Amino acid sequence: MSTVISVENLGKKYTISHQQRGDNSSLREVINNRVANFGKKLFSPFTVFSSPLTIHHSQSSNHHSPASEDFWALKDVSFEVKQGERIGIIGRNGAGKSTLLKILSRITEPTTGRVKIKGRVASLLEVGTGFHPELTGRENIYLNGAILGMGRQEISRKFDEIVAFSEIEKFLDTPVKRYSSGMYVRLAFAVAAHLEPEILIVDEVLAVGDAAFQKKCLGKMEDVGREGRTVLFVSHNMQAITRICNRVAWLDYGELIDDGSALSVVHSYLENTESVQKTAEMDLTSWSQRYGSGESKILSARLLNNSGAISKIFFRNSSMIVEFSFASKTSQVLHFSAVVISETGVKLLHMCHHDGNVFQSESFEGKHIVRLEIPKLPLCAGSYKMVLAIHTDRMQPLDVVMDVLPFMAEDDVATPRPYRTVAEYGYCWTPNHWSIKKAD
């Protein structure tokens, strides 16, 4: 495949201005100081009022901070994109993702390095990108097409398809300045995706739309990729990234940290972000989403991979370990269970400690740690969470904690498929064997 985007030693520098002490004061500071001074003088008859235009500064005003400093949003970034690749750009807020897309979309110029782009580019970087607020939705469709270099007849052939996808036919002749942000996104994405650009660039803007429309857009981007066109997609939704993209680039502090297969890079990114500790290892002593008598209480929980490391991403057919600690004040026989649920609350897997025959049901007073090992995770790619529970032998709830330990399941790396089996096609998976022979 030919190279359609070439990025060489790309850098982007911004100058950040700082307010110097002693030279400027914020409006709030000025008002607070003036009111305080006025109050003092009002109740102090021997004080002489100063001019109302005089602003007094503290003795520290002689110490000046630098008026400005250089900030590199991108530093020495290099990569190539082949025709038909679907590339995800991931990283924390402020990592340089949007800056990179703005340079690729020719909205801003790089400070260093260069970019070569071969083909027509359609960008959706923020709500209303490329729209004129005074024009109607209909007029903006033709305007955007013209910006992309398309003729009126070419746009007209796609017009009905664009309107049907955006689902805003009722407001098509309304000026877009009266559109909600969701309507903006619907029309903007429909235009960007349907006017057949060779390269489609989409930022996190899709998060503005409702869930049904987001799903629709993700499906459309998959279609665009299958048609041989190139997609660059920025998102904080790792499930969407791994569904759409076959390659991922990870940016941090303006530098390219990793660039490779979607699953491997996303896995590295999730394992190296601080947020993992907040969800894959949780303090549940004050967790509000729970019920039960409280005679036994789950205190903490965490997820471990087959290497024993804390993780929130697991592969189909690989092991997952769930550990939770609890404290019990009752002498009743205890039963432990864990339930895996979908993002929409569908109960998928129910596991009870009796299934493993590791220990007999008995009383566990004091503090203990329960360990559950799932040898082969039977889930298709998707986002899931868990319910952890302690019951009596008569199934009376002592402590049931809900919606904890969110995690992602991914397709098995050892046995990759030609396409990803996502949860919308079915949540559960089991080992299976297929054969075929010629019929008589």
Question: According to the model, what pLDDT value does residue 48 have?
Answer: 43
Q: Strand 3-17 and strand 68-82: pairing?
A: antiparallel
Question: How far apart, in whole angstroms, are the C-alpha atoms of residue 243 and residue 219?
Answer: 9
Question: How far apart, in whole angstroms, are the C-alpha atoms of residue 310 and residue 34?
Answer: 55
Question: According to the model, what pLDDT value does residue 121 have?
Answer: 85
Question: According to the model, what pLDDT value does residue 386 have?
Answer: 95
Three-class DSSP category at 376: coil
Which position has the higher pLDDT, 20 or 138?
Answer: 138
**Does residue 58 carry a pLDDT above 50?**
no
Across 119-228, the runs of DSSP E, i.e. the strands, are 121-124, 199-202
Question: According to the model, what pLDDT value does residue 21 have?
Answer: 54
In percent, how much of the chain has pLDDT > 90?
A: 25
Lowest-confidence range among 229-238, 263-272, 309-318?
A: 263-272
With beta carbons less than 8 A apart as the criterion, state whether 188 and 148 touch. no
**Does residue 270 carry a pLDDT above 90?**
no
Binning pLDDT at 50, 70 and 90, where does residue 349 land? Answer: very high
Question: Which residues make beta-bridge pairs with 433?
Answer: none
Q: What is the mean pLDDT of the chain?
A: 81
Q: Domain map of the chain by residue range?
A: 19-65, 76-271, 276-425
Question: According to the model, what pLDDT value does residue 214 have?
Answer: 77
Superfamily of domain 76-271: P-loop containing nucleotide triphosphate hydrolases (3.40.50.300)
Question: According to the model, what pLDDT value does residue 281 have?
Answer: 85
The two structure tokens encoding residue 423: 């949860």
With beta carbons less than 8 A apart as the criterion, state whether 298 and 399 touch. yes
User: Taking residues 7-20, what's their average pLDDT?
Assistant: 81
User: Taking residues 39-61, what's their average pLDDT?
Assistant: 46
**Does residue 55 carry a pLDDT above 90?**
no
Question: According to the model, what pLDDT value does residue 326 have?
Answer: 94
Give per-residue pLDDT as tens, 183-198.
Answer: 888 888 888 778 778 8
Question: How far apart, in whole angstroms, are the C-alpha atoms of residue 182 and residue 161?
Answer: 19
Lowest-confidence range among 187-196, 243-252, 430-439?
A: 187-196
Looking up tokens 């307010």, which residue turns up? 19
Question: According to the model, what pLDDT value does residue 123 have?
Answer: 80
User: Taking residues 236-263, what's their average pLDDT?
Assistant: 86
**Does residue 2 carry a pLDDT above 80?**
yes
**Does residue 34 carry a pLDDT above 90?**
no
Binning pLDDT at 50, 70 and 90, where does residue 259 land? Answer: very high
Looking up tokens 């002592």, which residue turns up? 398
User: Taking residues 64-89, what's their average pLDDT?
Assistant: 84
**Does residue 57 carry a pLDDT above 50?**
no
In percent, how much of the chain has pLDDT > 70?
A: 79
With beta carbons less than 8 A apart as the criterion, state whether 322 and 303 touch. yes
Question: According to the model, what pLDDT value does residue 325 have?
Answer: 94
Question: How far apart, in whole angstroms, are the C-alpha atoms of residue 325 and residue 285?
Answer: 10
Give per-residue pLDDT as tens, 285-344.
Answer: 999 999 999 999 999 999 998 888 888 888 888 899 999 999 999 888 888 999 999 887
Residue range 276-425 in CATH 2.70.50.60: yes
Which residues, at least 6 apart from 197, have a Cβ–Cβ distance to it below 8 Å? 119, 120, 121, 122, 148, 229
CA torsion through residues 350, 355, 356, 360, sign: positive
Question: According to the model, what pLDDT value does residue 105 have?
Answer: 86
**Does residue 418 carry a pLDDT above 80?**
no
Lowest-confidence range among 43-47, 179-183, 398-402?
A: 43-47
Question: How far apart, in whole angstroms, are the C-alpha atoms of residue 166 and residue 164?
Answer: 6
